[in-house]
């Protein structure tokens, strides 16, 4: 459905973009994804969540007269005049198969599963390609040192779009290497949450069965009232205890 703002766009306001080499006139307020749909494309792949989280709509583009190659997510990047677009919903990059429960959180594990991590040239092309502005070069440098915790931390916001691998002259799959580091860190190195373990034990012991059964019997209005009457933790500093 067109928004009121889009419906007010006249033919004179439209801008040219090139989708897979073909010229289309589209409103300048649209994202790449919406511009493609405006041009008549039906997106069945490479559209994903449409909210900038899944990384399925990876896009490479150039602007006429500008030699630089740009990257972005089609659901987040707004079109520009004379934008030449190419969708990259999937890039053929190596992805190892492993059982995380049988691995050790060591540099040897990282290097044996992904030996190409040691081929990193430190050129920074991967960092320039990342639509999340992650310093891919920095987390790959940590990986080369066998620093799994740092690699996991620096790559935490990765959405697995694969654009780093597209640009890598060493032909690495940085995002697949990084997710191995995050899995190793999460299973073996991250501090254990004692209160979470205790709560899970309480749930398994059935300590909340009665309370849950009571909630299930409540009407929507009763649930809303219960929700609004709940105790809320203070958002500011701790309150001083009264005398």
Which value, to the nearest 10 degrees, does the dihedral of the CA atoms of residues 218, 224, 229, 232 take? 120
Residue 236: predicted pLDDT: 55
Average pLDDT over residues 80-98: 92
Residue 130: predicted pLDDT: 94
Q: What does the alpha-carbon distance between residue 181 and residue 7 come to, in Å, rounded to a whole number?
A: 48
Q: Is 162 a residue whose pLDDT tops 90?
A: yes
Return phi, psi of residue 73, to 5°.
Answer: -95, 130
Q: CB-side exposure of 157: number of CA atoms within 13 Å?
A: 9
Q: What residue spans define the domains of the chain?
A: 10-87, 100-189, 194-223
Q: Say if CB 24 and CB 18 are below 8 A apart.
A: yes
The pTM score is 0.73
Q: Say if CB 128 and CB 164 are below 8 A apart.
A: no
Q: What is the fold of 100-189?
A: Fumarate Reductase Iron-sulfur Protein; Chain B, domain 2 (1.10.1060)
Q: CATH homologous superfamily for 10-87?
A: Beta-grasp domain (3.10.20.30)
Residue 10: predicted pLDDT: 75
Share of residues in the chain with pLDDT > 90 (%): 77
User: Binning pLDDT at 50, 70 and 90, where does residue 98 land?
Assistant: very high
**What average pLDDT is seen over the chain?**
90
């Amino acid at each position: 459905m067109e928004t009121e703002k889009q419906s007010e766009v006249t033919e004179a306001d439209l801008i040219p973009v090139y989708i897979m080499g073909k010229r289309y006139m589209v409103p300048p307020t649209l994202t790449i994804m919406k511009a493609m749909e405006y041009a008549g494309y039906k997106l069945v792949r490479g559209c994903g969540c449409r909210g900038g989280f899944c990384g399925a709509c990876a896009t490479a583009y150039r602007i006429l007269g500008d030699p630089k190659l740009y990257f972005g997510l089609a659901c987040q990047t707004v079109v520009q005049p004379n934008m030449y677009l190419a969708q990259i919903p999937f890039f053929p990059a190596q992805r190892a198969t492993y059982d995380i429960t049988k691995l050790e959180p060591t540099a040897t594990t990282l290097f044996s599963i992904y030996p190409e991590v040691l081929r990193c040239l430190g050129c920074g092309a991967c960092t320039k390609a990342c639509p999340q502005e992650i310093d891919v070069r920095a987390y790959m440098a940590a990986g080369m040192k066998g620093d799994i915790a740092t690699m996991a931390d620096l790559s935490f916001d990765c959405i697995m779009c694969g654009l780093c691998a597209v640009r890598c002259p060493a032909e690495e799959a940085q995002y697949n290497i990084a997710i191995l580091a995050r899995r190793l860190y999460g299973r073996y190195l991250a501090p254990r949450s004692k209160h979470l373990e205790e709560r899970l034990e309480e749930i398994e012991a059935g300590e909340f069965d009665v309370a849950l059964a009571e909630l299930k019997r409540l009407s929507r209005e009763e649930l809303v009232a219960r929700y609004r009457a709940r105790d809320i933790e203070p958002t500011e500093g701790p309150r001083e205890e009264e005398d």
